[in-house]
Amino acid sequence: MTKDSQITAMKSCLETAARTLKYLPNNPLDRHQKLRSIWGNIDRASESISSKTGKYLPSAIEIDDMYYIIDLLMGLPDLERKLLWARANRIPWALLQNQIGRSRTHLYQIHHRGLISLTNLYRVKKPLDIMNKIG
Protein backbone atom coordinates (compact mmCIF):
# COMPACT_ATOMS: atom_id res chain seq x y z
CA MET A 1 0.00 0.00 0.00
CA THR A 2 1.21 3.49 -0.76
CA LYS A 3 1.61 6.12 1.93
CA ASP A 4 -1.38 8.11 0.63
CA SER A 5 -3.69 5.10 0.73
CA GLN A 6 -2.53 4.32 4.28
CA ILE A 7 -3.30 7.89 5.35
CA THR A 8 -6.72 7.70 3.69
CA ALA A 9 -7.42 4.42 5.48
CA MET A 10 -6.32 5.96 8.78
CA LYS A 11 -8.74 8.86 8.23
CA SER A 12 -11.48 6.31 7.69
CA CYS A 13 -10.52 4.45 10.89
CA LEU A 14 -10.59 7.71 12.85
CA GLU A 15 -14.02 8.64 11.48
CA THR A 16 -15.34 5.16 12.29
CA ALA A 17 -13.98 5.44 15.84
CA ALA A 18 -15.60 8.87 16.28
CA ARG A 19 -18.93 7.56 14.95
CA THR A 20 -18.73 4.52 17.22
CA LEU A 21 -18.11 6.66 20.29
CA LYS A 22 -20.99 8.93 19.29
CA TYR A 23 -23.43 6.01 19.11
CA LEU A 24 -22.41 4.15 22.25
CA PRO A 25 -25.37 3.93 24.60
CA ASN A 26 -25.44 6.18 27.63
CA ASN A 27 -25.40 4.89 31.16
CA PRO A 28 -28.64 2.90 31.61
CA LEU A 29 -29.31 4.65 34.90
CA ASP A 30 -29.39 8.05 33.17
CA ARG A 31 -32.37 7.08 31.01
CA HIS A 32 -36.05 7.15 31.75
CA GLN A 33 -37.47 3.93 33.21
CA LYS A 34 -39.61 3.32 30.14
CA LEU A 35 -36.58 3.48 27.85
CA ARG A 36 -34.57 1.12 30.06
CA SER A 37 -37.11 -1.63 29.59
CA ILE A 38 -36.91 -1.68 25.78
CA TRP A 39 -34.83 -4.60 24.55
CA GLY A 40 -32.96 -4.42 21.29
CA ASN A 41 -33.17 -6.81 18.36
CA ILE A 42 -30.07 -8.84 17.60
CA ASP A 43 -29.11 -8.94 13.93
CA ARG A 44 -26.93 -12.05 13.60
CA ALA A 45 -25.64 -11.13 10.13
CA SER A 46 -24.13 -7.76 11.07
CA GLU A 47 -23.33 -8.56 14.72
CA SER A 48 -24.98 -5.36 15.90
CA ILE A 49 -28.00 -4.61 18.03
CA SER A 50 -30.64 -2.10 17.08
CA SER A 51 -33.15 -0.87 19.59
CA LYS A 52 -36.85 -0.64 18.89
CA THR A 53 -36.42 3.08 18.32
CA GLY A 54 -34.14 2.33 15.34
CA LYS A 55 -30.99 3.90 16.76
CA TYR A 56 -27.74 2.35 15.50
CA LEU A 57 -25.66 0.58 18.14
CA PRO A 58 -22.05 -0.33 17.32
CA SER A 59 -20.83 -3.92 17.31
CA ALA A 60 -18.22 -5.30 19.70
CA ILE A 61 -15.57 -5.29 16.96
CA GLU A 62 -16.22 -1.61 16.22
CA ILE A 63 -15.94 -0.79 19.92
CA ASP A 64 -12.63 -2.68 20.19
CA ASP A 65 -11.30 -0.85 17.11
CA MET A 66 -12.41 2.47 18.62
CA TYR A 67 -10.54 1.79 21.88
CA TYR A 68 -7.44 0.81 19.93
CA ILE A 69 -7.49 4.01 17.86
CA ILE A 70 -8.06 6.13 20.98
CA ASP A 71 -5.10 4.42 22.68
CA LEU A 72 -2.94 5.25 19.67
CA LEU A 73 -4.11 8.87 19.74
CA MET A 74 -2.83 9.19 23.31
CA GLY A 75 0.71 8.71 21.97
CA LEU A 76 0.53 11.94 19.96
CA PRO A 77 1.17 15.53 21.06
CA ASP A 78 -1.87 17.42 22.36
CA LEU A 79 -2.48 19.68 19.36
CA GLU A 80 -2.19 16.85 16.83
CA ARG A 81 -4.48 14.62 18.91
CA LYS A 82 -7.13 17.32 19.33
CA LEU A 83 -6.98 18.24 15.66
CA LEU A 84 -7.22 14.63 14.45
CA TRP A 85 -10.19 13.92 16.71
CA ALA A 86 -11.92 17.17 15.74
CA ARG A 87 -11.57 16.39 12.03
CA ALA A 88 -12.74 12.80 12.63
CA ASN A 89 -15.89 14.36 14.08
CA ARG A 90 -16.09 16.56 10.97
CA ILE A 91 -15.67 19.87 12.73
CA PRO A 92 -15.18 22.49 9.99
CA TRP A 93 -11.74 23.99 9.40
CA ALA A 94 -13.12 27.50 9.90
CA LEU A 95 -14.31 26.68 13.41
CA LEU A 96 -10.95 25.09 14.23
CA GLN A 97 -9.18 28.21 12.97
CA ASN A 98 -11.17 30.33 15.40
CA GLN A 99 -10.68 27.95 18.33
CA ILE A 100 -6.97 27.28 17.89
CA GLY A 101 -5.95 30.61 16.37
CA ARG A 102 -3.90 29.31 13.44
CA SER A 103 -4.41 29.42 9.70
CA ARG A 104 -6.13 26.62 7.82
CA THR A 105 -2.90 25.81 5.98
CA HIS A 106 -0.96 25.45 9.21
CA LEU A 107 -3.75 23.35 10.75
CA TYR A 108 -3.76 21.11 7.67
CA GLN A 109 0.01 20.61 7.99
CA ILE A 110 -0.36 19.66 11.66
CA HIS A 111 -3.26 17.34 10.76
CA HIS A 112 -1.26 15.66 8.01
CA ARG A 113 1.78 15.28 10.30
CA GLY A 114 -0.50 13.75 12.95
CA LEU A 115 -1.93 11.27 10.43
CA ILE A 116 1.58 10.18 9.43
CA SER A 117 2.59 9.78 13.08
CA LEU A 118 -0.59 7.83 13.84
CA THR A 119 -0.03 5.55 10.84
CA ASN A 120 3.54 4.89 12.00
CA LEU A 121 2.35 4.12 15.54
CA TYR A 122 -0.29 1.85 14.07
CA ARG A 123 2.30 -0.16 12.14
CA VAL A 124 4.64 -0.44 15.13
CA LYS A 125 1.98 -1.77 17.52
CA LYS A 126 0.60 -4.29 14.98
CA PRO A 127 -3.15 -4.41 15.70
CA LEU A 128 -5.09 -7.61 15.42
CA ASP A 129 -8.25 -7.21 13.33
CA ILE A 130 -7.99 -3.76 11.79
CA MET A 131 -4.53 -4.35 10.29
CA ASN A 132 -6.24 -5.42 7.06
CA LYS A 133 -7.81 -1.99 6.68
CA ILE A 134 -4.48 -0.16 6.56
CA GLY A 135 -1.99 -2.75 5.37
Residue 93 within a domain: yes
Residue 90 within a domain: yes
Provide CB contacts within 8 A for 58, sequence distance 6+.
19, 20, 23, 24, 48, 66
Domain coverage including residue 66: 3-27+60-134
Which DSSP category does 30 fall into?
A: G
Q: Tell me the pLDDT tens digit for each residue of 78-108.
A: 999 999 999 999 999 999 999 999 999 999 9
Residue 55 within a domain: no
Largest CA distance in the chain: 51
Which of the four pLDDT bands, split at 50, 70 and 90, describes residue 60?
confident
Q: What is the pTM of this model?
A: 0.73
Residue 87: count of CB within 10 angstroms of its CB = 21
Residue 41 within a domain: no
First-last CA distance in the chain: 6
Domain count, the chain: 1
What per-residue confidence (pLDDT) applies to 135?
52
Residue 56 β-bridge partners:
50
